[in-house]
Amino acid sequence: MKRLLVVCAAVLSGCSLLQNVAQSREPSLSFKNASLSDISLAGATVNLTFTVQNPNPVGISLAETDYTLSLAGKQLVAGKPPAGLRIPAAGSSDLTLPAQVRFADLGDSLAAVLQQNEVPYRAEGHLGVSTPLGIVPLAFAQEGTLPLPRIPTVSVQSPRIASLSLTQATLDLPLTLSNPNSFALPLGALAGDLSIAGAQVGHIASAELGRVDARQSRTVAVPVTVHFAQAFAAAQALRLGKAHVALDGHLTSGGASVPVHVERDVDFTR
């Protein structure tokens, strides 16, 4: 009797499986969006998100991925989505395909690349999902554009004369960095050569600036010592209380650096 029950259960299980196979329909794939994450001036992660729809009465799972992603004709290093993605019965799940990009690889110079507003991408390949029918490949080909980060703007504020003697002056030079992007940007240090009234007074370097939030600014005061014997024109400007100030340097972010040039007429304060 027990053996008969086992046999019946196996037959019913097999019938149920055959019924699931007979009723199975192929899942479908639709493109959702393309975006960037982990963004710095050096690079970012490109994320392509697709939605997998499962019309079947049983859950299915992601079995394999095979795809290429190119930006501006340059093929990127594709990553792997998290393993174990499940698509529920009669439901859907989003799947994100990541790839790493270094912006300097997209052109002759990093600064030239970041002067563009956006960059074209192309992705193609397939996802394989495990179903009662076996592994079903879902092919895709997608093209579009992605925004590139814009270089923060740098402005020089009125320097403050911290100390003044017959031979030298110590200044606190405020530098304001504004992030024009709709996302936060990690910034390193700003360093360069400072000129006052056409006379180079020395090399300056800020501390690490850290994360600057979307469309926000950060001001840092950088100390600089002006030796009058080496910069007579700067000494005269300080005595007059106004001068033309220029900074030529580099701003770092994510291990990359971009050139910075800023100049303006300023009043010196005490």
| Alpha-carbon gap, residue 146 to 111, rounded angstroms | 17
| Domain count across the chain | 2
CATH code for position 171: 2.60.40.10
Give the tens place of pLDDT for each residue, 114-155: 999 899 999 999 999 998 888 999 999 999 999 999 999 999
Model pLDDT, residue 78: 83
Q: Which domain covers residue 139, as residue numbers? A: 26-147
* Neighbour-count burial of 4, counting CB atoms closer than 10 A to its CB (0-12 exposed, 13-18 middle, 19+ buried): exposed
- Boundary (domain end) residue, out of 147, 174, 204: 147
Please check whether residue 69 is in contact with residue 96, taking contact to mean a CB–CB distance below 8 angstroms: no
Give the tens place of pLDDT for each residue, 31-46: 999 999 999 999 999 9
Residues 182 and 262 in one domain: yes
Mean pLDDT for all residues in the chain: 89
- Boundary (domain end) residue, out of 116, 147, 178: 147
| Alpha-carbon gap, residue 268 to 157, rounded angstroms | 9
| Alpha-carbon gap, residue 139 to 189, rounded angstroms | 45
Model pLDDT, residue 11: 42
DSSP code, position 40: -
Residues 39 and 54 in one domain: yes
| Alpha-carbon gap, residue 31 to 97, rounded angstroms | 11
The whole-number average pLDDT for the span 6-27 is: 54
- Boundary (domain end) residue, out of 147, 173, 189: 147
Higher pLDDT, 219 or 133: 219
21 within a domain of the structure (yes/no) = no
Please check whether residue 71 is in contact with residue 119, taking contact to mean a CB–CB distance below 8 angstroms: yes
Q: Which helix (H) or strand (E) holds 38?
A: none
| Alpha-carbon gap, residue 8 to 6, rounded angstroms | 5
3 within a domain of the structure (yes/no) = no
Beta strand 28-37 with 43-54 is antiparallel
The whole-number average pLDDT for the span 61-68 is: 91
